[in-house]
Amino acid sequence: MANPIALSPNDNYLLREGASKVGDQITIGPERLTQGKEFGLYVTFGPKAKAGTVIVETAHSVGHAGEWAQLQRIDFVSPGKEHYVAITGSLLALRLRVADAVIGDTVKFSGSAL
């Protein structure tokens, strides 16, 4: 089995932490995405979170100013809950975005590719 490739620039798999406001996001471009075809994304709500929604989206370019194509919607379920999203395909831009504010805490995004 191949070793996973971190989608974060510092190779620790953490893409962003401390996201809570509508519009907080992390965007991943082709320099990381072209290293794999299978992507594992983790969205973890903090232990005091009470609500929130994260959207996983793709577009043809990280600079795309229009509406991105939604791949997955992740709604808050419980405090401390970690959600996993598996995506297979050839992507040029990937974004994880807070769509509904995370109430009471924050959310963090992690990810890898194979």
CATH of the domain at 87: 2.60.120.260
CA distance 92 to 18: 25
Find the domain containing 46 and state its range.
Answer: 5-113
Q: Give residue 2's pLDDT.
A: 76
Global pTM value: 0.93
Per-residue pLDDT reduced to its tens digit, 10-41: 778 999 999 999 999 999 999 999 989 999 99
As a whole number of angstroms, the distance between CA 13 and CA 6 comes to 5
| Closest of 99, 98, 114 to residue 18, by C-alpha | 98
Number of structural domains the chain divides into: 1
